[in-house]
């Protein structure tokens, strides 16, 4: 079986408080976008793990796909072994949730492959054990996310018909580094209320990570400014960066970006 884990963008991202467990509570609207990896799993007598496309650094045992397999096999003894192949296209460390999507889609794929018949509630519970953003990708529809990202409500927004331009400059912003630059605070206005009025997005739909990340990496701030210059009705850094996206009412005339930038365009 094969599936296509997709990336996400954040419409607004507030860091509301630091938790006793060391994590932070957030508030954001996450929206899936069509930029995808490809994940294939095949039943076999012995396990294997292969990767093509973008390099996936680090020890495979920490990969969320393999952690998802281990998580299910802990509760369901005797499940068959798998050949697992990932073709990686979503940039890593980019604020796009690619690793989280891979883990969540692995859970959904194994649910079908092993005939476990787990509904979304249970898959979201497993996904929350993998990582903070993973639960979002189970239903994979626009959601208001709170807590560590595991508290989900339907998102009152549709980007259908908008044109997306996504730029990743190849800068890695570490999650620890990003959180170190943020002072948690409760937002003054309701996220749902702001999302309901697109004229408020540019000024009020804020990503709390931008202030410190832009100070450290002016190049990222420059990308956001450039997207507004070519007509975006909204532009923002996604997650903790360093990807920046712009939303347009129609396909813009694009600037000439540096050759090392990852540039993705799509009608949503």
Catalytic residues: 8, 133
Give the strands of the sheet with 24-36, arranged side by side. 6-18, 24-36, 143-147, 151-154
Count other C-beta atoms under 10 Å from residue 143's C-beta.
23
Contact 235, 247 (CB under 8 A): yes
């Amino acid at each position: 079986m094969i599936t296509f884990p997709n990336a996400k963008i954040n419409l607004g991202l507030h860091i509301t408080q630091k938790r006793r467990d060391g994590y932070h509570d957030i508030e954001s609207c996450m929206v899936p976008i069509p930029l995808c990896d490809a994940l294939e799993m095949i039943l076999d007598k012995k396990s294997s793990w292969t990767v093509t496309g973008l390099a996936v650094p680090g020890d495979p045992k920490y990969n969320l796909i393999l952690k998802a397999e281990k998580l299910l096999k802990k509760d369901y003894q005797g499940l068959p072994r798998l050949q697992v192949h990932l073709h990686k296209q979503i940039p890593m460390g980019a604020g796009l949730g690619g690793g989280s999507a891979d883990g969540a889609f692995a859970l959904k794929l194994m649910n079908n492959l092993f005939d476990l018949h787990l509904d979304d509630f249970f898959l979201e519970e497993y996904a929350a054990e993998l990582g903070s953003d993973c639960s979002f990708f189970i239903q994979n529809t626009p959601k208001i996310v709170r807590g560590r990202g595991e508290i989900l409500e339907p998102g009152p927004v549709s980007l259908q018909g908008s044109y997306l331009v996504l730029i990743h400059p190849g800068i890695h912003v570490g999650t620890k580094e990003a959180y170190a630059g943020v002072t948690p605070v409760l937002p003054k206005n309701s996220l749902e209320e702001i999302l309901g009025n697109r004229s408020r997005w540019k000024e009020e739909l804020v990503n709390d990570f931008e202030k410190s990340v832009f100070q450290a990496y002016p190049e990222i701030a420059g990308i956001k400014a450039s997207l507004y210059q070519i007509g975006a009705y909204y532009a923002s850094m996604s997650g903790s960066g360093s990807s920046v996206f712009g939303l347009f009412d129609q396909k813009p005339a694009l600037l000439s970006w540096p050759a090392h930038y990852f540039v993705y365009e799509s009608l949503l």
